[in-house]
Amino acid sequence: MDLPIFLAFEVTDQEQGYPYAVAWSLPNGLYKSVLLKPEDDWLIDWESGQNSHGAPALQDLLERGETVLDVLKEWGEDFDKGEVYSEDPALAQYCLDMMYDAYGKDVAVEVIPAVEAFEGYDAMDIDDQRRWIMDTEGLNAVGAEDVTRTLIHLYARVHGISED
């Protein structure tokens, strides 16, 4: 199986928040999902109470989160094609910029709207199948891991790829 890389984030606030969870797929159909330990300079606004519903407590992220630098290193290996697909490309670009900027690096991938992975297929049919996958698998449209898993299943289903 050779899937595109799908990438999804969860942020503390949709307007100007910080990423606290990220999930991405691998070409073999597997995926990775991690909580992010916030960078020190992100914490200035963190305490403002602007956290989205469902975001873990700051202490949990500090104790269980992966460092941004470790995630960037992992992406260096996992994002070898130079492009990632996202349902929310603007949010993904915002988060990528923030993460790479934290270490003075340039973003190493191009963000492509996920719909482009399904070009040539009826958009309504794709949306119906996406909803069906979410319903049958018990996934939601908000969590980064669930979004990534949905896109993996959808891509495999639409392109006739066995998920075994």
Q: What is the residue extent of each domain of the chain?
A: 7-158
Query: In sequence order, what are the residues at sequence separation of 6 or more whose Cβ sits closer than 8 angstroms to the Cβ of residue 35?
Result: 20, 21, 56, 60, 61, 64, 65, 66
Q: Is 123 a residue whose pLDDT tops 70?
A: yes
pLDDT value at position 7? 98
The mean per-residue pLDDT over the stretch 109-135 comes to: 94
Q: How many CB atoms within 10 Å of residue 44?
A: 8
The mean per-residue pLDDT over the stretch 16-21 comes to: 88
Q: Residue 2: pLDDT band by 50, 70, 90 thresholds?
A: confident
**71-103, pLDDT tens digit by residue?**
999 999 999 889 999 999 999 999 999 999 999
The mean per-residue pLDDT over the stretch 8-28 comes to: 90
> Who wins on pLDDT, 148 or 140?
148
Q: Residue 159: pLDDT band by 50, 70, 90 thresholds?
A: confident
**105-114, pLDDT tens digit by residue?**
999 999 999 9
User: What is the average pLDDT value for the chain, to the nearest integer?
Assistant: 91
Six-digit token pair at 5? 């890389």
Six-digit token pair at 111? 């963000």
**Homologous superfamily of 7-158 in CATH?**
Ribonuclease H-like superfamily/Ribonuclease H (3.30.420.10)
15 close to 48: Cβ distance less than 8 angstroms: no
**30-79, pLDDT tens digit by residue?**
999 999 999 998 887 555 555 666 788 889 999 999 999 999 999 999 99
